[in-house]
């Protein structure tokens, strides 16, 4: 067996595993699963192609032996996967070689969070991140494109906090001309609350969201708009490779973050691997192909063989798409975020 933990060709260790548990979603966010592409005729993965909870747990356990300490469940909408609490329970029972449990988080659109928050916490989930792109119902409903109201997401946020799934983070993808006029309203709303609001630059993931550079609102601009009204100061990162740059309000009314995937690439500290719901492992959000671990699992591979395959894949990793991205980057067929997991 290869020596663990593994590092890639740029010396980056494997620390985080994002697991997509389904490619389905009850939203059709215009920047992620636009209706024109993900319409009635769209064919999602058949059930028998999804990794079972046992298969996911087995791979997660091997990834932890390689260095993974944080696991995030995502999708699609992860809370739509039936009995997700059981998977959380199985993952929470895993231990690192030092005997520690993994840090378990989940990203959700919040639609079924209020009813599940307590059960998720009881199963062993540590934290949730909830996506909310606007406080303006007209804009939010147009962005999720299924007329889902803001009030229900706000209710889910409270339920998650009460259930002990905090600090709850709130993700706002900012798209120029669509919801950028809402930046200040969002900042004002979440100031002085336990929620940590994070502004995400609209990214060119997948091939269906019609991304253009001029639709990106650079984090610097977001910060300057907020700083003009509510002065902010930088905070130290929580750990190496943190995607979000942290800021605090100078008057002590809380923390915000910016995720500058486009204007300030963080590939040099990128320690994330992504596992799709059908068992392909991707070493970059912008990868075009993934390694089919399900074929190995279902082909009878031993743990040692799976461990070697993962070590070989990570050891050969050269990815740094965002650092290399430029206007001259030729368009290529990329994997959709709802498939690979955000």
Would you tell me the crossing angle of helices 303-315 and 53-65 to the nearest 10 degrees? 60
Partner whose binding site includes residue 247, from ligand SF4, ligand SAM, none (CB under 5 to 8 Å by kind): none
* Spatial separation of the C-alpha atoms in residues 99 and 80, rounded to whole Å: 31
**Smaller CB distance to ligand SAM: residue 26 or 193?**
26
Shortest distance (Å) from residue 227 CB to ligand SF4: 26
**Smaller CB distance to ligand SF4: residue 201 or 249?**
201
CB 243 within 8 A of CB 261: yes
Would you tell me the crossing angle of helices 53-65 and 84-92 to the nearest 10 degrees? 30
Continuous segment of H or E residues that includes residue 234: strand 232-234
* 219 scored as a contact of ligand SAM (CB under 6 A): no
Shortest distance (Å) from residue 101 CB to ligand SF4: 25
* 321 scored as a contact of ligand SAM (CB under 6 A): no
The DSSP code sequence of 273-340 is EEE-TTSEEESSTT-S--EEHHHHHHTT--HHHHHHHHHHHHHT----HHHH--TTPPP-----HHHH
**Total binding residues toward ligand SF4, as defined by CB under 6 A:** 24
* 108 scored as a contact of ligand SAM (CB under 6 A): yes
* 20 scored as a contact of ligand SF4 (CB under 6 A): no
**Closest by Cα among 137, 224, 139 to 178:** 139
Query: Which residues, 176 to 215, sit near ligand SAM by CB under 6 A?
Result: 200, 202-203, 205, 209
Q: Which residue among 75, 206, 279, 290 contacts ligand SF4 (CB under 6 A)?
A: 75
Reported in sequence order, the residue ranges of 21-147 that DSSP labels E, i.e. its strands, are 70-74, 103-108, 127-131
**Smaller CB distance to ligand SAM: residue 113 or 223?**
113
List contacts with ligand SF4 (CB under 6 A): 25, 27-29, 32-33, 75-77, 109, 131, 265-267, 270, 272, 284-286, 319-322, 338
């Amino acid at each position: 067996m290869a020596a663990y933990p593994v590092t890639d060709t740029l010396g980056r260790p494997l620390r985080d595993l994002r697991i997509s548990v389904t490619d389905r979603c009850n939203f059709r966010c215009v920047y992620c699963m636009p209706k024109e592409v993900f319409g009635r005729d769209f064919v999602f993965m058949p059930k028998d192609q999804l990794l079972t909870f046992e298969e996911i747990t087995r791979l997660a356990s091997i990834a932890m032996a390689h260095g993974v300490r944080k696991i995030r469940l995502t999708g699609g909408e992860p809370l739509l996967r039936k009995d997700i609490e059981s998977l959380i329970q199985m993952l929470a029972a895993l231990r690192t070689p030092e005997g520690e449990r993994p840090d378990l988080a989940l990203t959700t659109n919040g639609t079924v969070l209020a009813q599940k928050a307590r059960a998720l916490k009881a199963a062993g989930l540590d934290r949730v991140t909830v996506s909310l792109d606007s406080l303006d119902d007209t804009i939010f409903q147009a962005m999720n494109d299924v007329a889902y109201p803001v009030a229900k997401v706000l209710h889910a946020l409270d339920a998650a906090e009460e259930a002990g799934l905090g600090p709850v983070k709130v993700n706002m993808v900012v798209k120029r001309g669509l919801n950028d006029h809402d930046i200040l309203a969002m900042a004002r709303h979440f100031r002085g609350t336990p929620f940590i609001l994070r502004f995400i630059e609209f990214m060119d993931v997948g091939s269906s969201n019609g991304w253009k550079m001029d639709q990106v609102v650079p984090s610097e601009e977001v910060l300057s708009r907020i700083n003009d009204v509510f002065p902010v100061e930088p905070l130290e990162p929580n750990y190496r490779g943190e995607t979000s740059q942290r800021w605090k309000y100078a008057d002590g009314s809380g923390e915000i973050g910016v995720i500058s995937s486009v204007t300030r690439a963080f590939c040099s500290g990128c320690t994330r691997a992504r596992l799709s719901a059908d068992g392909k492992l991707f070493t970059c959000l912008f990868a075009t192909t993934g390694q089919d671990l399900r074929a190995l699992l279902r082909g009878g591979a031993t743990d040692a063989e799976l461990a070697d395959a993962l070590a070989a894949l990570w050891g050969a990793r050269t990815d740094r798409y965002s650092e290399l991205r430029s206007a001259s980057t030729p368009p290529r067929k990329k994997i959709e975020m709802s498939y690979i997991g955000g």
